[in-house]
Structure 1
Amino acid sequence: MVAEKEESTKKSLVFTYGTLKRGFSNHTLMQDLIRTGDATFVSTCRTAENYPLVCGPYRVPFLLNMAGSGQPVTGELYAVSASGLATLDELEGTTRGHYERLSITVELDNGDGGSCGGEGVTSAAEAYYAHGSYAAEMWKRNGMKGLNVYSEKEAKGYVKRKDRPHNLTFLDHIQLFLHSQD
């Protein structure tokens, strides 16, 4: 019984870099998880290594699992319960090939208002990366240039899922984006 209780209260650290961050369109989901005790804000942070952060169709942000490319990416770290992870996995389409939840190392904000990781304090976490089936093409489509932060500027033009055309799957939209010439 004690092991079950420990398992039910164990939380995983999740690095958010896009629409789940405070002030962005999907943060309401994170607020719901915080309200139910399934998530807690830990710190602002940035990736310990360089990663590509790009925008895809509908200005959706994608972190690409290509350590060493791109630049350090700024985001937020949350402690999330198993139930909360299941909710986030559903949003991120992990069973549908949209994103993959994989490990990442982040540097925590040192609290002085400066850049994250000033003291070099790192933490293992998980992040939602673009699925490996299209990540390299997404990097090429973005001119092999990434962002260091998904800001209001990048989010301008973001289209919520409910407002996107429903006759195609998200993967169809990704393929159209990857092969368009605009």
Structure 2
Amino acid sequence: MARIFVYGTLKKGQPNYHRMLDSANGKAEFLASAFTTEKYPLVIAGKYNIPFLLNIPGQGHRLHGEIYKVDDKMLKFLDDFEEVPTLYQRAQVSLEVKEWVGGTEGEERPAAGSITEAFLYSTTTYQPDWPSLPRYESYDSRGDHGLQYVTRSERD
């Protein structure tokens, strides 16, 4: 089992969250809310208003998101969904736990404020103007930014 940190459309209440629940994709269990220990720029870009975490450590904000424990099948699905390695790369990062709620009985439950690690998806391939776009610390597809995400089924 691997841990994945999601910060965009795969979070609860967001357009692709249903993919985390679909057992045909594998198994995903919500563990905790957390934020990155390092700052990254999270921007909304492209004609589909996709949230992109630019792999420029030290810039932007500490990003808020969710940690999931996923099986190998879900990890493979997520790698395919995130178009690894052409669109995104998967890398391990340090996270500060806000609230740990999941996990199996007897499993260690890190306290709020403790540091843990998980994989996240970021991109090193982006348009030259993307680093200058507005940066967000928490993504919501219906946020007051007015840049509603265009789902894959709605695209041309």
Offset of residue 157 of structure 1: 1.9
Offset of residue 12 of structure 1: 0.8
Q: Comparing both structures, which one devotes a greater share of its residues to helix?
A: 1
CA 1:37–1:99 in structure 2 vs 1: closer, same or farther (change >3 Å)? closer
1:42-121 equivalences in 2 (<5 Å): 42-57=31-46, 58-95=48-85, 97-110=86-99, 119-121=112-114
Q: Comparing both structures, which one devotes a greater share of its residues to strand?
A: 2
Offset of residue 161 of structure 1: 1.2
Which residue identity lines up with residue 121 of structure 2 in the other structure?
A: Y
Contact kept in structure 1, 2:25 and 2:77, CA below 8 Å: no
Correspondence for 1:139: 131
Q: State the superposition RMSD in angstroms.
A: 2.3
| Sequence identity percentage | 33
> Matched residue of 1:24: which SS?
coil
1:140-155 equivalences in 2 (<5 Å): 140=132, 142=133, 145-151=134-140, 152-153=142-143, 154=145
CA 1:162–1:51 in structure 2 vs 1: closer, same or farther (change >3 Å)? same
Which residue identity lines up with residue 19 of structure 1 in the other structure?
A: T
Question: Quick one: higher RCO (CA 8 Å, sep 6+), 1 or 2?
Answer: 2
Offset of residue 59 of structure 1: 1.5
> Matched residue of 2:40: which SS?
coil
Correspondence for 2:122: 129
Aligned residues: 144
Contact kept in structure 1, 2:38 and 2:62, CA below 8 Å: yes
Offset of residue 21 of structure 1: 0.3
Normalised to the residue count of structure 2, the TM-score between the two structures is 0.82
Contact kept in structure 1, 2:6 and 2:65, CA below 8 Å: yes
Contact kept in structure 1, 2:32 and 2:99, CA below 8 Å: no
> Matched residue of 1:109: which SS?
strand
Contact kept in structure 2, 1:59 and 1:155, CA below 8 Å: no
Q: Which runs of 4+ in 1 moved over 4 A?
A: none
Determine the C-alpha separation between the residues in 2 that align with 1:20 and 1:68.
24
> Matched residue of 2:77: which SS?
helix
Normalised to the residue count of structure 1, the TM-score between the two structures is 0.71
Structure number with greater Rg is 1
CA 1:101–1:164 in structure 2 vs 1: closer, same or farther (change >3 Å)? same
Correspondence for 1:32: 22
